[in-house]
């Protein structure tokens, strides 16, 4: 048995799970949120569950607080830090260099830093989590699992952009894809449910970041996010697909700098730009109360997803299942209903009563007449990272 600590480091949050492998037993889990902000909060669950409000200035302090709880006489599950065999890190962008899970060394960290500009909301925080855990757990192996790895199977006809070839061949500008750890995990669960390898699955990951993937026979065939995680679906603060001419207009006619445009598309757009809210729960509540901007934003969000579903059904010549996952995908019956409405031509028919079920387990929510299964599958990126980390060190 080996204990593997999984770290998912965000810009102002740090999620963790301590998982015993290969039994897949979760010894402890939780997160620190609002790092560096007022009212930082620790959520910790082992034998019992607790929440503490603390002043946590940075990721180093956050991980130290977590480590102290893991070893605490009352709340802890280990006695020494050396009982942790490996620390598995989620890293968003691995470019075209990393196609597999890898042990972290100085060269790996340098490459992660090279991709800061491609994933500015993620890679800097991911690297910070790695550097902090190296100091706190010097005896543990540090493992990187890249969100982009799962999408390396996407064929060149789907991955290359229609710009001069040398930009692909020399500068490696192409579709990389993201949320791969989540899409891989839920598609494996769906395939297990089918009990067959030959399958056509459309996996829809909806959280603050959103993406959709066409998965054929367990391999990524196409994906909505591309060179960096900002295009495709409408997200919490990210724009998703936009006419490139808008960028030139913002710079040439309205006087924006390139950095201001980047900030606008990454941090000020999406559902936040449309409504003033980035949390979908607030938007749904306002829409239900008659807010037309919020209702329009929900309609736009679902419409974009529907367009990608149609495209991926064409790409795979059919679909056996839709999979909704991640925070919004698992919990918003409103979005699922809007997405699946008027999709009966494709054999997609939602059972509205099943859709309202709040069960946290894998469930099917299609009608008996639906030719396409509609799954809600809770994602578990941490378990997927633990499985890949354990395979590497075993």
Binding-site entries: 8, 15, 90, 205-209, 279-281, 327-331, 381
Task: Taking residues 220-228, report their average pLDDT.
Answer: 94
Q: Quick one: pLDDT at residue 255?
A: 97
The CA–CA distances, whole Å, from 373 to 160, 193, 241 equal 31, 11, 27
Q: How many CA atoms lie within 13 A of 12 on its CB side?
A: 10
Task: Taking residues 83-98, report their average pLDDT.
Answer: 87
Nearest CA to 203 among 282, 149, 150?
150
What is the rounded average pLDDT for all residues in the chain? 91
Both structure tokens of 161: 């952009």
Q: Please check whether the domain covering 2-146 is classified as CATH 3.10.20.30.
A: no
Asked if the model's pLDDT at residue 38 lies above 70, the reply is yes
What pLDDT, in 10s, does the model give residues 156-190? Answer: 999 999 999 999 999 889 999 989 989 999 999 99
Nearest CA to 133 among 123, 122, 144?
144
Task: Provide the CA 112 distance to its chain's centre, in angstroms.
Answer: 17
**Residue holding tokens 């980035």?**
278
Q: Quick one: pLDDT at residue 37?
A: 75
Q: Quick one: pLDDT at residue 11?
A: 66
Binding-site entries for Mg(2+): 8, 381
Q: Quick one: pLDDT at residue 160?
A: 97
Task: Taking residues 118-127, report their average pLDDT.
Answer: 81
Both structure tokens of 371: 């030719």
The three-state (H, E, C) secondary structure of the chain, written as one string: CEEEEEEEECCCEEEEEEEEECCCEEEEEEEEECCCCCCEEEEEECCCEEEEEECCCCHHHHHHHHHHHHCCCCCCCCCCHHHEEEEEEEECCCCCCCCCCEECCHHHHHHHHHCCCCCCCCHHHHHHHHHHHHHHCCCCEEEEEECCHHHHHCCHHHHCCCCCHHHHHCCCCCCCCCCHHHHHHHHHHHHHHHCCCCCEEEEEEECCCEEEEEEECCEEEEECCCCCCCCCCCCCCCCCCCCHHHHHHHHHCCCCCHHHHHHHHHHCCHHHHHHCCCCHHHHHHHHHCCCHHHHHHHHHHHHHHHHHHHHHHHHHCCCCEEEEEHHHHHHCHHHHHHHHCCCHHHCCCECHHHHCCCCCCCEECECCCCCCEEEECCCCHHHHHHHHHHHHHC
Residue 115 pLDDT class (50, 70, 90 cuts): confident
What pLDDT, in 10s, does the model give residues 320-346? Answer: 999 999 989 999 999 999 999 999 999
Q: What is the largest CA-CA distance in the chain?
A: 63
pTM: 0.87
**Percent of the chain with pLDDT strictly greater than 70:** 99
Angle subtended at Cα 373 by Cα 367 and Cα 376, rounded to the nearest 5 degrees: 95
Bigger pLDDT: 294 vs 278: 294
**Percent of the chain with pLDDT strictly greater than 90:** 63
Most confident of 51-60, 83-92, 137-146, 338-347: 338-347
180-376: CATH architecture: 2-Layer Sandwich (3.30)
Could you state, in order of their start, the residue ranges of all structural domains in the chain? 2-146, 180-376
The CA–CA distances, whole Å, from 51 to 55, 62, 146, 158, 261 equal 13, 14, 30, 45, 38
Instruction: Check if 147 is active-site.
Output: yes
Task: Provide the CA 272 distance to its chain's centre, in angstroms.
Answer: 18
What pLDDT, in 10s, does the model give residues 39-74? Answer: 888 999 988 888 888 888 888 888 888 888 898 888
Asked if the model's pLDDT at residue 15 lies above 90, the reply is no
Q: Quick one: pLDDT at residue 284?
A: 96
CB 234 within 8 A of CB 353: no
Q: Quick one: pLDDT at residue 147?
A: 86
User: What is the crossing angle of helices 244-252 and 258-267, to 10°?
Assistant: 130
Binding-site entries for ATP: 15, 205-209, 279-281, 327-331
Q: Quick one: pLDDT at residue 341?
A: 97
Both structure tokens of 9: 């480091």
Whole-number Å distance between alpha carbons of 343 and 210: 21
Q: Among residues 58, 96, 147, 299, which one is catalytic?
A: 147
Domain 2-146 shares a fold with domain 180-376: yes
Task: Taking residues 25-32, report their average pLDDT.
Answer: 92
Bigger pLDDT: 272 vs 359: 272
Residue 95 pLDDT class (50, 70, 90 cuts): confident
Nearest CA to 212 among 242, 187, 246?
187
What pLDDT, in 10s, does the model give residues 185-213? Answer: 999 999 998 877 789 999 999 998 899 99
Whole-number Å distance between alpha carbons of 180 and 188: 12
């Amino acid at each position: 048995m080996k204990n593997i600590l999984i770290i998912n480091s965000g810009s102002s949050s740090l999620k963790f799970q301590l998982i015993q492998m290969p039994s897949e037993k979760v010894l402890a889990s939780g997160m620190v949120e609002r790092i560096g902000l007022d009212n930082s909060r620790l959520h910790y669950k082992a034998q019992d569950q607790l929440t503490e409000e603390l002043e946590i200035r940075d990721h180093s302090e956050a991980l130290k607080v977590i480590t102290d709880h893991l070893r605490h006489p009352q709340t802890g599950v280990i006695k020494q830090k050396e009982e942790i065999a490996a620390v598995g890190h989620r890293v968003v962008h691995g470019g075209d260099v990393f196609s597999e899970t890898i042990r972290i060394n100085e060269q790996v960290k340098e490459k992660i830093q090279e991709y800061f500009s491609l994933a500015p909301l993620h890679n800097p925080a991911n690297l910070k989590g790695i550097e902090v855990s190296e100091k706190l757990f010097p005896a543990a192996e540090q493992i990187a699992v890249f969100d982009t790895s799962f999408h390396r199977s996407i064929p060149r006809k789907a991955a290359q952009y229609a710009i001069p070839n040398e930009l692909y061949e020399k500068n490696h500008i192409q579709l990389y894809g993201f949320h791969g750890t989540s899409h891989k995990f839920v598609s494996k669960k769906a395939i297990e449910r089918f009990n067959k390898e030959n399958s056509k699955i459309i996996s829809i990951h909806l959280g603050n970041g959103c993406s959709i993937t066409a998965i054929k026979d367990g391999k990524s065939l196409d994906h909505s996010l591309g060179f960096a995680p900002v295009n495709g679906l409408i997200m919490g603060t990210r724009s998703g697909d936009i006419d490139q001419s808008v960028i030139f207009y913002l710079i040439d006619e309205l006087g924006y700098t390139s950095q201001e445009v980047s900030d606008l598309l990454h941090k000020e757009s999406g559902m936040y730009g449309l409504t003033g809210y980035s949390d979908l729960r607030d938007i749904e509540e306002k829409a239900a109360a008659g807010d037309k901007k919020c209702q329009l934003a929900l309609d736009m969000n679902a419409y974009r997803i529907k367009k990608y579903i149609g495209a991926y059904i064409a790409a795979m010549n059919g679909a056996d299942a839709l999979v909704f996952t991640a925070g919004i995908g698992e919990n918003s019956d409103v979005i699922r209903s809007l997405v699946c409405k008027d999709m009966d031509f494709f054999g997609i028919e939602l059972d509205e009563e099943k859709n309202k079920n709040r069960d946290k387990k894998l469930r099917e929510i299609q009608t008996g007449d639906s030719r396409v299964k509609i799954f809600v599958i809770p994602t578990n990126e941490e378990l997927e990272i633990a499985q890949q980390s354990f395979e590497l060190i075993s």
